Chains A and B, each alone.
Chain A
Amino acid sequence: MKPLDPRLLRAARAVRTHVAVTAACGVALTGLILTQAWLVAHVIGGATDGQGLDQLGPLVAAVAGVAIGRAVLAYGAEAAALRSAARAKSQLRRRIVAHVTDRPGRGSATAGEVATLTTRGLDALDDYLARYLPQLVLAALVPIAVLVVVASADWISAVVIAVTLPLIPLFMALVGMHTQARTRKQWTLLQRLGGHFLDVVEGLPTLALFRRAKAEAALVRRVTDDHRDATMGTLKIAFLSAFVLELLATLAVALVAVEVGFRLLYGHMDLTTALLVLILAPEAYLPLREVGARFHASMEGIAAAESAFAILEAPRAAVPGTAPTTRRGTVDLQIDDVTYTHAGRDTPVLDGLSLAVAPGRSVLLTGASGAGKSTLLSLLLRFAEPQAGTIRADGVRLRELDADAWRARVAWVPQHPHLFDGTVADNIALGAPDAGSEEIAAAVAAAGLTDVVAALPDGLDTRVGERGARLSAGQRQRVALARAFLRDPDLVLLDEPTAHLDPDNAALVRAATARLLLGRTGIIAAHDTGWGEITDSTVVLAGGRVSPPTGGNGTPPALVSGIHGHSHECHSQGVVS
């Protein structure tokens, strides 16, 4: 793990400026540290030689000047670092959001992780940039500068420092590696013991129900105690790292002091030089200790940056196609031999699927969980491209069409539609921000939302809260339907529109869905075969393709798909083609 990720330098201009400013501050600060030591040594030396304030006055005043200089530098460096951090976070955040929103259709879990990373996660860069990096610069500059000055004053002291300094990072690395190995060995145990309390608290209602709540209190203590033993075992080694650092740093200063003292005693050195060496010796080790103390800040900052780059370096899904396409009220869909395998999976979820939906006709797509219903919808939405086979709309290959122009002809009602933190009207007008109030009112009526909107305090102007928290699941589903009505689409795609809704809401959504399908091409993906009542035909997906008719006549799947999924239900045959 590098202390400064070069990708961070490349990714955010603000970081490059910051590193330059930090390095300049570091050089200036090093100079002031040396100056202060020189001044203090000379004032004490001078006073010992009998000089008074009249002679030493300028030197003493210079100490005040150095104090002010160091304060201004410390203030300026930190303020500038925090400004750079704010800007660097902003630059990374914007790039991540642009990158991620470009490839929709990924899991909500990923969205949650990215949201956390781009807010609290990136805040780790504050400490990293404002407190860790400047210390790292000082840790590189100060010891060398001190060594040079001390060497010019007293080479023996310089040797003591020069020998002990490199030992510190060496021993720390050794201890660190040993700690890591030991922690890794105990990782599962530590994880399990550490997670026990959360597990037990989460499961408290269950424990109470089985009258185990009281007995479990003793277990909480025992497991926490076991966790303490295991943790202390690891800490005993982990703390050795700081022990080595403190020991070597202090011991070196003590050795320098004694050595300088004896040289002074035998007249090989003057007091001012001895004091200069004594004051500077601890300064050589201080930045190293500070860097060690900020180790965690650095780890968090680096981890945040690495997560950010992991996202930014993921390839962007190419959305090919530029051909224009225009609305014509309905669409002729032709899906031929389509195969799709999710990234990281071995078996294709769609495996040679063929299906045709004639203009103005609707199909219920059913099948077990994981049969590929939702995948087919996301291919139709161009959230992903099939690895083999073709999808044609009105005879044109979908991948040749401009994605936005194609999606403008489609309305999609997912299983869990996302409502945005805005008004009901904003949410309905998602795809048509310029829609007039009559158009929105018509969509509200068509989606069966009129009563719901009337009951809201500000009607259509009521804010729905984050993720539409103010509305029930059924109401959110109908807002999504109103969205679809307002879009007046050629193709309607619905994904489990009523799963997990109570019967009252399910009925309202169903009625609105039937209205939405009138005269348009539509596909409903649902478990429930009951939807077949409002679609023109039903198609069963199994093994990644359209399965033969239920209770069928032995027609092989290939043949069924060959005739474009004319599936079971007697009425389907004539209607779909």
Chain B
Amino acid sequence: MSGSPLVRMVALARPRGARFALGVLAGAAATASGAGLLSLAAWLIATAATHPSVTALSVAVVLTRALGVTRGVTRYVERLVTHDAALRTLSDVRVRVYERLARTEPVRRFRSPDLVTRLVSDTDATQDLLVRGLTPPLAAVVAGAGAVILATALLVPGGLLLAAGLVVGGLVVPVVAAALSRASGARQAAARAELSTALVDALHGAADLAAYGATGRAVARVEAADAALTAAARRDAGLLGLGAGASALVAGLTLWATLLIGVAAVQDGTLGTVPLAVLVLTALASFEIVAPLPAAAARLGAVRASGERLFDVLDTPPAVRDPGGAGVLAPGACRVRDLLVRYAPGEPWVLDGLDLDIGPGEKVAVVGPSGSGKSTLAAVLFRFLDPDSGSVEIGGTALTDVPADSAREVVSGVPQHPHLFTSTVAANLRLARPDASDDDLWDVLRRVRLADDVAAMPGGLGADVGEHGERLSGGMRQRLALARALLTDASLLVLDEPTTHLDPDTRDAVLGDLLDATGDRAVLLVTHDLDRLDRMDAIHVVVDGRVVQHGTHAALLARDGWYRRAHRLAPAAG
């Protein structure tokens, strides 16, 4: 069903239905006050022209002055009430999206920061739909119905005419205009994509282009793409102007036809002169009711696209089966047998029969070329992902037989892109152990050799780390993530590329401190750096989703194979 994302988004607001109804009524009252003021004033003036007594006008005078005030007041109420209701709904939706995301696997979606950012703005689109996409049309329906009833009461054909005019001006024209605008957007999409690619090449590649004397060609390509897009936009300008023209035409012709039948009705005696003035000015003022609708219709297209993506997330089944119950894992040796994982049916196996053992307290490294499946292994151990087949056992119990959170009591660590929250150092650390005392925090910071740096920050433990930890250096961020992992009681720490994006000096220091600080816990270090692996108890080389070599650093160097070859070739080893 094509409209279903919008309907489902509106359904999300059902718990706030009463507030929205109030908002719609206030909006309708505001719009109706504007049109009603002119209708009433027309009656007042037309009646005054017949020179009645002042008392005959007194009610109309009071009402006119009252309407002069109600529009501003009701509009204010409408905006406050609908914004409040929309923000309340947003709170509900965010919690739903969050809870659903927390239950689905966070591996794929979180690979791209763009996807996450878009998801968040898609969630916020609910608010846009309710405030700008839903309330104005509903308020227009109520106010428009009022205007039509008044006109029909005065003269039936006049009412029908106004109804037809409002439907065409408030529904047909906005919907057609929005469709034309979408079609134009689709036609220009290819030209836009080409322009964007050409721009990325010319701007991001500016240095490469200059160095190779190719700037002129890249700029020429941007200009060609720009010319194509501009030509398309200029061609479509004619179509896009149709909405504004049609709106003006419908309003003007409705006024004309109302005058025509109104004067005719006065002529044949079916309409008085006072009702004529009211009818005509009502027709004149009513189009203000539908004026905001083209903008609302245009917005709905974008909101619907957001809704589709949003429900795509809400409808995704959890990727980690919850076995239920309250099973717990006993710390012990980790046995991985014949592990098979892929991201979708039909795709190649990322892990293709992987076997691995980590004894209690053992320090084990998994190395291999990029894309060999190392991080997928970490995701399985973190319970972000269920294996398609094979088993992971800890202390004799299968990891998948206990609830994910029970498994994470025993297995924790540092995921590939550890997130630092926009908060204090202490709050980021206490995620791992909410009841940790300040002394505990200082202790763990000392173990990762971050205590002096934190002490030097204004506020110490209370220092703000900034968005994504931007106030810390790359090395400090990794150390803080490691400190957080150390605060858990997990007996197996999985560290997924804890030293990427660090320069070599920092990298060596962090790795050294990390192995010292983990003490007697078991460690699985996933890395593509071959430095300093001499301290590991065992090294597993993973290529194409399976272990092709394993042994100690010395043993692997002594044997021919990937490890020795890669080690000898890596410049750092020279």
Contacts and interface: CB of A to CB of B under 8 A. Distances in A.
Nearest to B98: A220
18 contacts: A56-B263, A67-B256, A82-B234, A83-B234, A94-B222, A98-B219, A201-B120, A203-B421, A221-B91, A244-B72, A247-B73, A278-B38, A282-B34, A368-B505, A410-B211, A507-B570, A528-B571, A529-B574
B242 interface: yes
Interface in A213-248: 213-214, 216-217, 220-221, 224-225, 227-228, 231-232, 235-236, 239-240, 242-248
Nearest to A508: B569
B504 A528 contact: yes
A310 to B, nearest CB: 16
Interface SS of chain A: helix
Interface stretch (A110-118, A144-152, A548-556): A110-118
Pick the most buried of A75, A248, A254: most chain B CB atoms within 10 A of its CB.
A254
Given A68-B249, A101-B215, A530-B574, A87 B234 contact: yes
Contacts, number: 476
Nearest to A196: B422
B46 A207 contact: no
Given A40-B255, A196-B422, A119 B273 contact: no
Contact of B49 (A48, A105, A197, A502): A48
Contacts of A195: 422, 467
Interface stretch (A328-336, A414-422, A539-547): A414-422
Contacts of B252: 36, 63-64, 66-68, 70-71
Contacts of B30: 246
Q: Which 8 pairs of residues, A with B, have the shortest CB-CB distance?
A: A67-B252, A75-B245, A254-B68, A507-B569, A247-B72, A503-B566, A79-B241, A203-B419
Given A118-B199, A201-B98, A209-B382, A250 B37 contact: yes
Contacts of B83: 231-232, 235
Contacts of B211: 104, 381, 407, 410-412, 431
Interface stretch (B140-148, B201-209, B355-363): B201-209
A132 interface: no
A313 interface: no
A258 B44 contact: yes
Interface stretch (B340-348, B410-418, B446-454): B410-418
Contacts of A383: 207, 210
Contacts of A82: 233-234, 236-237, 240-241
Given A97-B203, A195-B422, A258-B61, A201 B116 contact: yes
B384 interface: yes
A253 interface: yes
Contact of A407 (B213, B218, B418, B434): B213
Contact of B195 (A119, A408, A533): A119
A559 interface: no
B555 interface: no
B4 interface: no
Interface string B456-490: 00000000000110000000000000001000100
B120 to A, nearest CB: 5
A275 B45 contact: yes
A420 B384 contact: no
B41 A257 contact: yes
A82 B236 CA distance: 9
Given A60-B256, A74-B248, A225-B91, A503 B44 contact: no
B160 interface: no
A250 B87 contact: no
A29 to B, nearest CB: 9
Contacts of B434: 212
Contacts of A198: 116-117, 120
Given A79-B240, A209-B413, A253-B37, A274 B98 contact: no
A231 B87 contact: yes
